Amino acid sequence: MIGGRLKNSPHGYTTAMDPQQCIAKTVKLSVEEIKPGISVENHCRIVGLVAKELLRLYPESIRLGLFPQGIELVAACHDIGKISPDFQEMLYETIPGYVRNSLQGLENANPERAGRKSPSFHAAVSQASLSDVDRFIPQIIGLHHGFSPCISNLQKDCDVYGGPEWQKQRDVVTNRLQEYFGFLAADNAWPDLTEIQAAVTAGLVTVADWIGSGDNYSQMVLDSQWGDQEINTLVGDAVFRAGFRPLRVRKNLSFTDVFPFSPRDIQTVLIESVTQPGVYILEAPMGIGKTEAALYTAYRLIEAKEATGIYFALPTQLTSDKIYERMNQFVSRIIEPSAGIEKTHLLHSSAWLHDIVLGEDGDSGGSWFDGTKRGILAPFAVGTVDQALMAVMNVRHGFVRTFGLAGKVVILDEVHSYDTYTGTIINALITLLRQLHCTVIILSATLTESQKKSLLHIDTSLAGGYPLVSGCPGVTTEATNFFERNSAYDGQLQVAVSFETETNRTIYDQAIERAATGQQVLWIENTVDEAQGTFRILSVTAQEASIECGLLHSRFTRQDRTILEKHWVSLFGKDGRNKRTQCGRILVGTQVLEQSLDIDADFLVIRLCPTDMLLQRIGRLWRHRENDSLRPAGSRCEVQIISPLYDAVLQEKDNFGKTGKVYSNYVLFRTLEVWKDRTTIQIPQDIRLLLEATYSEREENGLAKRYKEELKKEKEKLQRMAAVGLSRGIQTLPESKAATRYSEIDSINVLLLSDIRTVDTGKKVRFLDGSWLDVPAFCAHPQQKRKIAATLLQQCVRVNEYSAPEPIKGLSWLKPYVYVGSKDDDEAPFRLAIVQNDEGLRGIFGENVHKTYSLQYNAILGYQSHKK
């Protein structure tokens, strides 16, 4: 590269296209008919207007703090780089009948240079074209596709960008946009941004571009005359259809107006303590109503215009529809009927996916046509903490999540279950959220003193009461106003504790015997494989004894899992009181039973896990005390823990097996040491005692010392990984490859079909329930296209990468409907397999789909993988 010009470049450009001829996109009217679409200038104007409309939805105090005047102009200039020869040639070449390099100004254009990794990628041209402006603004504009483009040391008027003539045209359009939005160059139109303002503005620009590229504008062809009134109407409609609507809540609702019971003392303490943004922790026993306390607190903040919505973050994707239903019921009670927001909170349903039109990347086939991602942009959402954590990580569209969280009440549920790696990132997230004028409410039954200090960013002695509300009000990160407030708690539960080894098969007999007396038995394993194995053993005997037996874990298709959860929660949940006496039941599962479902068991069997998770699982035992009178005679509040013997572990004659692959051996060792001699525990009195005994720092010898050193090395490794993920100076990571936690994450969507047929219009697929769906090669109706996409997603199961079918070619027919990945990112988060009559997974042509594992699926056991 010499003097900003590419080696072996053409002789440059002596002319440039008229900006009115420069199109932002093409419009596909049918398989054969493609027309030039909206002009770059009109598209930029629309995106600026969308940004302006989005800003109107923020309370004034939050808007003024995060978005300085002039941000809509930044959004408008995002695509100025599309006024460049290579990009225009790339678009015009797709139009039937166009002769290559035939238009004035495109004589030397090369469309192959317009790819996203090329210096002439249009976002790179946009960034370079405004390189003279404040340092953050060019970067924001360049980031609008989710990553920093390659601009090297190219100058804005270099040959590859079209030379001085093309830059003049970009300047002309930039000046017209400044004038349109009421800013003149002489008036210093560009805002002066802080780093946090730049991050949230980058997300605003991207979302405004998505909305401004949606269905509404597809017919704005080049020769159409559109007045300001028509454009403003289109913009308002597009923003509304994308789910961004004025947030109007009913005034002066009491706690009992929102929930059908009076608040407990600890709930009242939280509600009265949180009156402004800041970081707050509610520590209270399982089943005491932490969720309701946090939601009502959030309502009070929204009512006072101190918040823009709620993001309820759960630890894993094992979140259940029951959590969504609780949020939906809450929203329906607080929202004014005229707010027009009724459908936006149905985040878990496929209807939400096709009713809410987010725009280009959020449309079918885009990477954000996914409720787990899109929810973070909605005013009310339940999602995973991973989506929030990526707001502080160097991943594609991380800043979109930053924008989505701005000003919200962010509820972090079950923080006790986060590992060290996630903890490193979550500390960075809390710092970011405070800068974003957010209110962070952390819910936990089980926090150690050191964990709490880390989350609150304080270094002071703690009172250690229980239940307890503590916090640091204010948007600054300084914890000078730290407080703690205790509350009385009059409920208690005595739980009998016993241990059994895995080799003792009487534990299976005991579960059957308990269920045979009519008890509702819950059995929680640490891995899906173990849960499937346990279910196989129990289900045969249970069937013979007329005991209903079921299995629930994360690796079912979304459709199957919805059916299973609905059934089992109707039996074990609050609404199942009248069904408890019908027969005995055994429900086997994984952490989904620990973390997401409000269910109540008469007898509990669990595999050893860290103390905080043991306590969380025990919280499902005799959870609904109103059921005590319905429990069969002889029922006893008891948990059996499957574990190796302590002495056998100490003498290294036994280990923790698969559980040691999920949790730290050192933490498991300390947990077993604390619990091994326990025959009863008192809830909540013993919670803090058990936690501190497990996690307190001490010197070790022998096996424990080795385990501790292994954990220390693993922590250091994970903290380094977290530091890399948090770094802004490295290459952007694909979202599916961004590790936000230590444990393996199910990040691959696998579409399971029983048949695929080629028809005249495209493909016809058969699902596992025997139903068929037409998947046309071209769908002219956007809503119908989104419905097809949402239906396909319901037939997907989410698994980890090592056990997913291997990537295959030939999925181009799915691209209009699902995000199959990007070759530029070396990303393949979507796979496809055919389920054969023997339940084995095969490829489209009957070929093997995995070299190492034999894969199977059925609606009872779910997704299975076994080494060949």
Model pLDDT for residues 661-715, shown as the tens digit of each residue: 888 899 999 999 999 999 999 998 899 899 989 998 899 999 999 999 988 888 7
pLDDT surpasses 70 at 457: yes
> What is the structure's pLDDT at 743?
44
- Is the peptide bond preceding residue 684 cis, with omega within 30 degrees of 0? yes
Check: CB of residue 303 under 8 Å from CB of residue 503.
no
Task: Provide the pLDDT for residue 420.
Answer: 57
What is the token pair recorded at 822? 């990007």
pLDDT at 519 over 50: yes
Tokens representing residue 299 in the block: 């309502």
Per-residue pLDDT at 694: 93
Predicted confidence band of residue 222 (pLDDT cuts 50, 70, 90): very low
Residue 3: the pLDDT is 29
Residue 262 burial (CB count, 10 A): 10
pLDDT, tens digit (0-9, with 9 covering 90-100), for 331-362: 989 998 766 655 444 454 555 566 677 776 77
Residue 412 amino acid letter:
L
410, 441 Cβ separation under 8 angstroms:
yes
- How would residue 2 be classed by pLDDT, with cut points 50, 70 and 90? very low
19-241 and 494-683 in the same fold = no
Radius of gyration (C-alpha) of the chain in whole angstroms: 29
Q: Return the SS3 of 861.
A: coil
> Per CATH, which fold does 494-683 belong to?
Rossmann fold (3.40.50)
Compute CA distances 571 → 13, 550, 578, 619, 656, whole Å: 73, 11, 9, 17, 33
pLDDT in tens, 567-596: 998 999 888 888 998 999 999 999 888 876
Range with lowest mean pLDDT among 137-141, 709-713, 727-731:
727-731
The pLDDT of residue 261 is 92
What pLDDT band is residue 633 in, cutting at 50, 70 and 90? very high
Question: Which residue do the tokens 């059908």 mark?
Answer: 260
- pLDDT tier at 4 (50, 70, 90 boundaries)? very low
> Is the pLDDT confidence value at 509 over 70?
yes
Q: How far is CA 509 from the centre of its chain?
A: 40
Q: In this structure, what token pair is assigned to residue 221?
A: 């062809």
**pLDDT score of 594:** 80
Q: Which helix (H) or strand (E) holds 561?
A: helix 558-572
Instruction: Give dist(CA 50, CA 211) in Å, integer.
Output: 7
CA distances from 428 to 283, 393, 418, 434 (A): 21, 9, 14, 10
Preceding amide of 632 cis, omega within 30: no
Q: Average the pLDDT over 593-610 and give the result.
A: 88
Residue 7, pLDDT score: 37
Query: Which tens digits make up the pLDDT trace of 780-816?
Result: 788 888 889 889 999 999 998 889 999 888 888 998 8
**Fold for the domain defined by 255-486:** Rossmann fold (3.40.50)
More confident residue, 318 or 513: 513
What is the percent of the chain where pLDDT is above 90? Answer: 45
For residues 620-647, give the mean pLDDT: 93
Residue type present at position 154: L
Angle, CA 798 vertex, CA 717 and CA 796 arms, to 5° = 160
How high is the pLDDT of residue 856?
Answer: 97
- Three-state DSSP string of 768-815: CCCCEEEEECCCCCHHHHHHHHHHHHHCEEEECHHHCCCCCCCCHHHC
Measured between alpha carbons, how far is 716 from 704 in angstroms, rounded to an integer?
18
Q: What pLDDT score was predicted for residue 5? A: 36
60-91 pLDDT, tens digit each: 989 999 998 889 999 999 999 999 999 998 99
pLDDT > 90? residue 30: no
Across 805-829, average pLDDT = 80
What beta strand segments (E) does 624-747 contain?
A: 638-642, 680-683
Cβ-contact 110, 86 below 8 angstroms: yes
Quote the crossing angle between the two packed helices 321-334 and 290-303, to the nearest 10°.
40
> Which pLDDT does position 221 carry in this prediction?
47
Which residue, among 749, 849, 748, 762, has the nearest Cα to 814 in the 3D structure? 762
> Where along the chain do its domains lie?
19-241, 255-486, 494-683, 748-867
819 against 522, higher pLDDT: 522
Degrees to nearest 5, angle at CA 759 with 753 and 760: 150
Of 3.20.20.80, 3.20.20.100, 1.10.3210.30, 3.10.20.600, which CATH number belongs to 19-241?
Answer: 1.10.3210.30
Task: Return d(Cα 713, Cα 596) in angstroms, integer.
Answer: 32
The tens digit of pLDDT for each residue in 537-578 reads: 999 999 999 999 999 998 999 899 989 988 998 999 888 888
Supply the pLDDT for residue 317: 60
> Do residues 585 and 520 touch, judged by C-beta distance below 8 A?
yes
On whether the CB atoms of residues 130 and 124 are closer than 8 A, the answer is no
Backbone angles phi, psi at 762, to 5 degrees: 150, -110
Residues in the chain: 868
Sheet bearing 278-283, strands edge to edge: 380-384, 310-314, 409-413, 439-444, 278-283, 468-473, 483-486
Give 585's contacts (C-beta < 8 A, 6+ positions apart).
515, 520, 521, 547, 548, 549, 550, 571, 572
Beta bridge partners of 124: none
Q: Does the predicted model carry a pTM greater than 0.85?
A: yes
Check whether 476 has a pLDDT greater than 80: no
Cα 318 from Cα 320, distance rounded (Å): 6
Looking at the predicted structure, is the pLDDT value of residue 402 above 60?
yes
Average pLDDT, the chain: 85
Selected residue with higher pLDDT from 862 and 313: 862
Q: What is the pLDDT of residue 8?
A: 37
Could you tell me which residue, 530 or 786, shows the higher pLDDT?
530
Percent of the chain whose pLDDT exceeds 70 = 87
For residue 255, pLDDT over 90 is answered with yes
Tell the burial category of 578 from Cβ atoms under 10 Å away from its Cβ (0-12, 13-18, 19+): exposed
pLDDT tier, 757 (very low <50, low <70, confident <90, very high otherwise): very high
DSSP calls for 710-778: HHHHHHHHHHHHHHHHH-SSSPPBPGGG---SSS----EEEEEESEEEEETTEEEEE-TTS-EEEEES-
State which amino acid sits at residue 860: I
**pLDDT given at position 841:** 97
> pLDDT at position 738, please?
61
